[in-house]
Amino acid sequence: MRIGVLGTGTVGRTLASALLSGGHEVRLGSRTTGNEAAVAWAASIGGPASEGTFADAAGFGEIVINATAGTASLDALALAGAELLAGKLLIDVANPLASSNDMPPTLTVCNDDSLGEQIQRAFPEVRVVKTLNTVTAALMVQPTLVDGAHAMFVAGNDAQAKSDVGELLQEFGWPASSIMDLGDITAARGMEMYVALRLRLWQTAGTDVLNVEVRAGG
Amino acid sequence: MRIGVLGTGTVGRTLASALLSGGHEVRLGSRTTGNEAAVAWAASIGGPASEGTFADAAGFGEIVINATAGTASLDALALAGAELLAGKLLIDVANPLASSNDMPPTLTVCNDDSLGEQIQRAFPEVRVVKTLNTVTAALMVQPTLVDGAHAMFVAGNDAQAKSDVGELLQEFGWPASSIMDLGDITAARGMEMYVALRLRLWQTAGTDVLNVEVRAGG
């Protein structure tokens, strides 16, 4: 498939490279065409890899992935343009961290709202699915970096969109049994608020290559 | 040991009964002496079980447990009295849920503060340890209700207090290897914000007898 990835940071480039390895065509989008990281990335791969503006990537993709910083996501999506996004599956992997340096970290939206919901409200024609925001970039595309079963959450209002995301997650190596559908896009609140716990677990474990497995009894 | 448990709801009574089974003396405290649930609980057990006001329970306990509703905790602790609490270990197991019925749930404090921190600031002479708030009451005192290893977090500013809490947790059946010290009391933010995810997991799993295991790689 043709996939547009918005955001040229570690998360965007990691996802884009993994999607290319899976046989997809990928356009990496940034605020301005010719972004240094994006050009270097596309040149190093060639062929099915290209770069451009947010709008270029959004127009290119049958699926669009929001891998921008959470604080920049709504602006980036506005630059991509509602018309180019309309009807498409938008996979939102961002966390609304106020800063990547604050410890303890704070979120710019939480509790009674979430970035996932803000995006869905701002772009009602888009089918938003929140996922992957609960793990670090390397683990997103290589879940075997952590031994044993561990969970990947998805949330969104469109069942078919979540099913399509499940297939992409399985291409990345997530077993179907590890993919947990938490319901509608309001579940993005819990998925985003979990980042506060995850960053403490990172401090404790000494690595950000970590995740949780959910165990139910009864 | 003599332990005062503030709060006569399911959490308070479950903890109190488990502590009695472990050979401790327990006084259950509520807003007014003669609380119906507390009297019935104490009468059903006798001997090492007693009930009284928050101040009665706080004065009785060498250790005090806050098992009140999060929205009522600061008031309950004020009624218990700073003098009676001073120098003691206070185990805070509460979540600051605005309502137990809202879905999605919201917290009355989160992101840049937490109930655990509010309590520590309001009672600086108390050694606050946050723990057990990430699981349902039955699981707090019987971790084997969920198969396999799963995590119990502790956070607080006093290392000895966290060590003492670790011993109590082990009396409840938590293996030492499952107890994760997340650092100072600011880690209560992540532990409390996780409730938003946990309540969605409950919806998905169909049971609140659930918990997470933390897995780290690389």
ipTM: 0.95
**In chain A, positions 118-177, which contact chain B (CB-CB < 8 Å)?**
139, 145-148, 150-151, 153, 155
Nearest by CB to residue A191, choosing from B139, B186, B197, is: B197
One-letter amino acid at B48 equals P
| Shortest CA distance from B107: residue in chain A | A111
> Residue B46 has what pLDDT?
83
State whether residue B207 sits within 8 Å of chain A by CB: yes
The domain ranges of chain B are 2-205
DSSP B168: H
CA dist., res. A184 & res. A158, Å (int): 8
> Residue B218 has what pLDDT?
67
> Residue A218 has what pLDDT?
67
Tell me the pLDDT of chain A (218 aa) as tens digits: 999 999 999 999 999 999 999 999 999 999 998 889 889 999 988 889 999 999 999 999 999 999 999 999 999 999 999 999 999 999 999 999 998 777 778 999 999 999 999 999 999 999 999 999 999 999 999 999 999 999 999 999 999 999 999 999 999 999 999 999 999 999 999 999 999 999 999 999 999 999 999 999 96
User: Are A104 and B139 inside 8 Å of each other by CB?
Assistant: no
pTM recorded for the entire structure: 0.96
**Cα distance from N-terminal residue to C-terminal residue, chain A:** 42
CB B110 within 8 A of CB B96: yes
DSSP A174: -
Residues of B in contact with A180 (CB under 8 A): 201, 204
CA dist., res. B185 & res. B127, Å (int): 10
Residues of A in contact with B182 (CB under 8 A): 200-201, 203-204
> Residue A109 has what pLDDT?
98
**In sequence order, which residues have a C-beta less than 8 Å from that of residue B54 and are 6 or more positions away?**
B6, B29, B30, B31, B76, B77, B79, B80, B81
CA dist., res. B215 & res. A210, Å (int): 6
What CATH code would you report for B2-205? 3.40.50.720
